[in-house]
Structure formats: C-alpha cells, structure tokens
Amino acid sequence: MRAIRIHQYGGPEVLTVEEVPQPEPGAGQVLVRVCAAGVNPADWKIRAGYFKDFMPLQLPAILGFDFSGEIEAVGPGVTKFKKGEQVYGSAMGTYAEYVAAKIAEIAPKPSSLDHVHSASIPVAAQTAWQALFDAGGLTAGKKVLIHGASGGVGSFAVQLAKAKGVYVIATGSGRNQEYLKQLGVDKPIDYEKTKFEDVVRDVDVVFDTQGGETQQRSWQTLEKGGVLVSIVQPPPETEAAKYGVKGVFLGRQPNAEQLVEIAKLVDAGRLKTTVEVVLPLAEARRAHELSQAGHVRGKIVLTCG
C-alpha cells in the first residue's frame, strides 16, 4: 500500500511517499481501507520531534491519527463490526491506504457526511469534548472562554458547548469574527483589537489551545474555583494556586462511546465541521506546511483512496 512515512524527525521535507506492507488486523482490531485522513497540528509537532521525549516514534513511522473509511477485514474476536461497514475514528498511521484500528477507537461514521468531512472530526471533536466536559466539568448555564475558536479543535468546542447550553466567549482574528458568530459564539473577541483579559471575567472554564502568553493572561479571567484546561502546555500549579483555580493539561484519549454521541450530534444538525483544504495523500508535505502556518479555518484533510 501507499503511505506517508518519516525516517527521521525534521521539517515537512522528511515526509515521503512509499510503498509499504499492508497491516494485518490483530485481536480486537479491524483493517480499514482509509478513504480520508484528517490532519491535526499534533501531526507536524510529532514529525518535528517536539513530543519525542514522552512519545517516541519507532522510525520509520507512518503519521496521522484521524480517518474515515470502510472495514476491509476484522481481526480475531471482533463481532461488533463487519466487512463493508463505514467507520470513522483514530489510530496511529492513517496517512496510508489502509490502517489497523482497535474497535475501542472507532464508531460508525456520521451517515449525513462523506468520508472527507467525517475524517476531519474524531481527534478534534474528542479533544474538545474531553476538555470541556470531562476535565472542565461544564454544564448548562456556565461560562467558557475558548481560545483559537476558529481552528479545528476550537470550532468543535464552541458548538459542543452551545449544544450543552453553555455561554461561550471566544477569541479569534479579525477575519474570523463573522465565522465565530456563525458557530454560535455569544461574545466573540477580536484579539487583534482587544485584550481579552480586559473584557472577560468570572468564567467557569478557560479552554487554552494556544499556550504561552495567552495562557498566562487567562488566569485572571477565571472565577474562584474555575478550571483552565490546556491541550498545548501544562499550566503551572503555582499560577493556579495564586488565583484559587485549577489547571489541567489534557491529552486526548480514544473513546468509541464519545464518537457515537458526536456522530449523533452531527446527524441531528447540531455539530458541523469545516474543511478548508482537501489534498491528495501524496501532498502531505503541503498539508503540514499549511497546518504549521496556523491560519487554516477548520480542518485539512488528505484523500487516501
């Protein structure tokens, strides 16, 4: 099969198109013919070696986590799925024509979407879900501040929070202000014109997708007992204690039940995905360049089959 592999850490140029052996599904796994693979910021960070100290790759490695496709074969002991079913989910090595995925990491894809749009959902939507509800404990009537709300994770976070009855404040660039309103943001903030900490107070949760100075300036927007959840940088315990709040660093965990619930929201019209760029598998390098530049609205998706 064709796949995109890296033999060393580095820039986008280390991504190469190669012919590699097709994987075999093991116990509790299915073999999926990948129709489309989502591209996430974590992909280029892994490629660049930013995570190698705590998530080292066995090189050469196939990159990618998000996928949507069709089950080609089932492994030993699998009775929940069968050949020919359309599924979506996450597994390591989705920049390829086939991937072996654990059944705990997949679910039937949204019936209302094609494979390209379905592949844009799993990692970003699950990350948002787990940050807001599992780590943040958000419920109806609470307030959240979401940074980078026009990006892949941020745009899902806005919609999931709104579906739960949460009041949403969100930051974005000037060009994305109308898009934030379309997503359902109650109070959009143009960070190019306004310092969010000057106009935001007493939120229950801050969802930090930016880190650095943005994270540092966010503590003062929380009410006592609030939670700052970051997916990019561990929040310092000293800062959390100073403001009487909690800091959580979140790493997404695959969860098939959440994928089922997310698909229900999609099919009910309550959760939409924005795919701004679609490229063939062979152009993974270009996809990484765009992702690394950080200005894509929504998601980038590779077509694999």
Give the pLDDT score at 281: 97
Query: For residues 210 and 230, what is the distance between their CA atoms, to the nearest angstrom?
Result: 8
* Range 19-48 average pLDDT: 95
Residue 170: inside a domain, yes or no?
Answer: yes
**∠165-167-168 over CA atoms, to 5°?**
120
Same domain, 238 and 295: no
Amino acid at position 173, single letter: S
Residue 265: inside a domain, yes or no?
Answer: no
Give the pLDDT score at 41: 87
Give the pLDDT score at 53: 82
* Range 279-303 average pLDDT: 90
Residue 149: inside a domain, yes or no?
Answer: yes
DSSP states of 133-148: IIIS---TT-EEEESS
Residue 268: inside a domain, yes or no?
Answer: no
Burial category of 167 from C-beta neighbours within 10 Å (exposed 0-12, middle 13-18, buried 19 and up): middle
pLDDT digits over 48-79, tens only?
998 888 778 899 999 999 999 999 999 999 99
DSSP states of 254-296: --HHHHHHHHHHHHTTS----EEEEEEGGGHHHHHHHHHHT--
Dihedral over Cα of 128, 173, 50, 212: its sign: negative
Query: For residues 264 and 271, what is the distance between their CA atoms, to the nearest angstrom?
Result: 9
Query: For residues 287 and 285, what is the distance between their CA atoms, to the nearest angstrom?
Result: 5
pLDDT above 80 for 82: yes
Same domain, 98 and 192: no
Residue 267: inside a domain, yes or no?
Answer: no
Same domain, 149 and 106: no
pLDDT above 80 for 294: no
Query: For residues 223 and 10, what is the distance between their CA atoms, to the nearest angstrom?
Result: 41
Kindly report the CATH number assigned to the domain that includes residue 237.
Answer: 3.40.50.720
Neighbouring C-alpha atoms within 13 Å toward the C-beta of 13 = 0
Same domain, 104 and 135: no
Kindly report the CATH number assigned to the domain that includes residue 71.
Answer: 3.90.180.10
> 66 lies in which domain range?
2-121+273-303
Q: Residue 197 in 3-state DSSP?
A: helix
Categorize the per-residue pLDDT at 151 as very low, low, confident or very high, splitting at 50, 70 and 90. Answer: confident
* Range 32-47 average pLDDT: 94
* Torsion angle, alpha carbons of 259, 113, 116, 20, to 10: 60
Dihedral over Cα of 168, 112, 254, 67: its sign: negative
pLDDT above 90 for 14: yes
Count structural domains, the chain.
Answer: 2
Give the pLDDT score at 78: 94
Same domain, 170 and 92: no
